[in-house]
């Protein structure tokens, strides 16, 4: 019996409430006929999950749980955890001894020692951990050849999960690709010593969520795998405006995102203080998972005497968030580029607000101008400018006609470019093309009938990037 080819999806954690775009992507790929198997490095400890998770059919393999390798001595860490990975690696050593040895040597010398040379003698032991984790995936890929032939691996975020994906690809001989997003592209410490270039060089293709990202990656390594812009997209039937809602006496300004520096929430708090001082009547809701900047934002709200105006709320599911959008009049997200280089691409919540026909205010950084055109379907300001943000919000508070015009144009943009079914079709086509190439490469050659008796996995030769290209 011939089984359908499967794509192995390698994720840092599954399911994560902050990574709605990945969950929706998996669900839609299944709806389009692809078969997936999810490999999750961690098991998230989150009490809430999106409803779409229950609709996903893909089996999930959680890699063995480990402690942080950066917070303990390597020898002690290895003694505690090696037994959890030993079985997979022993089977790999018997099955593909050359690939296993080459990948181990590459991990030690091509990754670990090269990092230590660049960093003044400090070996990066997390590469060893990722090699061990990759072995679990690779061994399962080989073991499932007959029952569930996993013929392609795909990592999300171009640092840890994709490092594991790449090493698993070397170990089992199955090609890989990855999706690059935001800080994983722009923070060198996440891919030290040209590791991101190595991944681009060895992947079958790279996907990323903005043209700005694609152009940066192409300049970073022009001769690597083809790089495709594939917007995250969203469910435009879920995020649809309620045009029967009554006008509110007190308008609501909404912002959504994790409480991290790149979201720019302190500038929104300051903009609200300016608007209050100008005598405007409004409310502001900031909704998102608590994170590093939660204490700072809470303190700014309290010190500014804004507790009666600004409500700080926790993370919610997609379904609850849709209701919150429907209760808002204006959406804003004053994104910024952090000193480390971290930044958003196109924030998904910005697209969601636009789909809900809300007028939006954001900043002209990264990929945001790809979705927001100033004074056409939203307003753009410079980053880190609370006064400019206050002025733009004031313009919307005072002009109902402007709010209506920008909101309608915003939804039209999302329907035209960011509908999740349309964006996922592009990714499906890339996977389908790779699976077809894989099937072709594994077909026995007519001139070599003895190949019929050779295991396809055993016949694959992989080239390891021992030297950085």
pLDDT at 453: 33
> Residue ranges of the chain with pLDDT lower than 50?
1, 448-463, 465-469
Nearest to 380, CA basis, from 392, 363, 399, 360: 363
Domain boundaries, the chain: 6-233+420-459, 252-418
Q: Report pLDDT digits (tens) over 286-334.
A: 999 999 999 999 999 999 999 999 999 999 988 899 999 999 999 999 9
Report the C-alpha gap between 137 and 319 in whole angstroms. Answer: 33
Q: Report pLDDT digits (tens) over 221-231.
A: 999 999 999 99
- Superfamily name and number for 6-233+420-459: Glycogen Phosphorylase B; (3.40.50.2000)
Pairing of strands 150-156, 206-208: unpaired
SS3 154: strand
pLDDT at 104: 98
Q: Exposed, middle or buried: residue 278 (CB in 10 Å: 0-12, 13-18, 19+)?
A: exposed
Instruction: Give the largest Cα separation in the chain, rounded.
Output: 84
pLDDT at 148: 83
pLDDT at 460: 38
- Element holding 117 (H helix, E strand): helix 114-118
CATH number of 252-418: 3.40.50.2000
pLDDT at 454: 33
Report the C-alpha gap between 65 and 75 in whole angstroms. Answer: 17
pLDDT at 123: 85
Q: Report pLDDT digits (tens) over 53-103.
A: 999 999 999 999 999 887 678 999 999 999 999 999 999 999 999 999 999
pLDDT at 445: 56
Does 6-233+420-459 match 252-418 in CATH topology?
A: yes
């Amino acid at each position: 019996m011939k089984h359908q080819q499967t794509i192995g999806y390698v994720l840092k954690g599954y399911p994560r409430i902050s990574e709605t775009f990945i969950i929706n992507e998996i669900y839609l790929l299944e709806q389009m006929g692809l078969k997936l198997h999810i490999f999750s490095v961690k098991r998230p400890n989150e009490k809430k999950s999106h409803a779409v998770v229950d609709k996903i059919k893909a089996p999930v393999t959680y890699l063995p749980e480990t402690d942080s390798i950066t917070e303990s001595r390597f020898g002690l860490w290895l003694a505690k955890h090696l037994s959890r990975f030993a079985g997979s690696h022993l089977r790999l050593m018997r099955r593909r001894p050359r690939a296993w040895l080459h990948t181990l040597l590459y991990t030690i010398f091509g990754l670990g020692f090269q990092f230590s040379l660049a960093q003044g003698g400090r070996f990066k032991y997390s590469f060893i951990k990722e090699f061990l984790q990759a072995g679990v995936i690779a061994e399962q890929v080989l073991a499932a050849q007959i029952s569930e032939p996993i013929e392609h691996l795909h990592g999300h975020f171009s640092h840890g999960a994709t490092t594991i994906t790449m090493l698993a690809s070397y170990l089992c001989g199955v090609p890989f690709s990855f999706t690059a997003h935001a800080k994983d592209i722009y923070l060198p410490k996440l891919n030290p010593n040209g590791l991101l270039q190595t991944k681009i060089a060895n992947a079958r293709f790279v996907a990323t969520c903005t043209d700005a990202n694609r152009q940066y990656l192409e300049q970073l390594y022009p001769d690597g795998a083809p790089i495709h812009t594939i917007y995250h997209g969203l469910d435009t039937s879920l995020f649809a405006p309620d045009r029967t809602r009554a006008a509110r006496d007190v308008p609501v300004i909404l912002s959504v995102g994790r409480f991290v520096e790149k979201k720019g929430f302190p500038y929104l708090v300051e903009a609200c203080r300016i608007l209050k001082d100008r005598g405007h009547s409004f409310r502001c809701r900031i909704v998102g998972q608590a994170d590093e900047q939660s204490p700072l934002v809470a303190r700014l709200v309290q010190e500014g005497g804004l507790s009666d105006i600004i409500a700080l709320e926790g993370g919610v599911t997609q379904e609850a968030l849709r209701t919150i959008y429907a209760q808002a009049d204006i959406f804003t997200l004053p994104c910024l580029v952090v000193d480390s280089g971290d930044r958003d691409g196109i924030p998904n919540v910005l697209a969601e607000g636009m789909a809900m026909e809300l007028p939006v205010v954001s900043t002209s950084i990264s990929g945001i101008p790809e979705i927001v055109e100033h004074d056409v379907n939203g307003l753009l300001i410079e980053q880190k400018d609370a006064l400019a943000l206050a002025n733009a919000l004031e313009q919307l508070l005072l002009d109902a006609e402007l709010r209506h015009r920008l909101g309608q144009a915003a939804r039209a943009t999302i329907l035209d470019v960011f509908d999740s079914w349309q964006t996922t079709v592009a990714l499906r086509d890339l996977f389908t093309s790779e699976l077809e190439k894989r099937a072709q490469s594994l077909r026995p050659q007519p001139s070599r009938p003895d190949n019929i008796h050779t295991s396809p996995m055993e016949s694959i030769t992989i080239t390891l990037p021992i030297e950085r290209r």
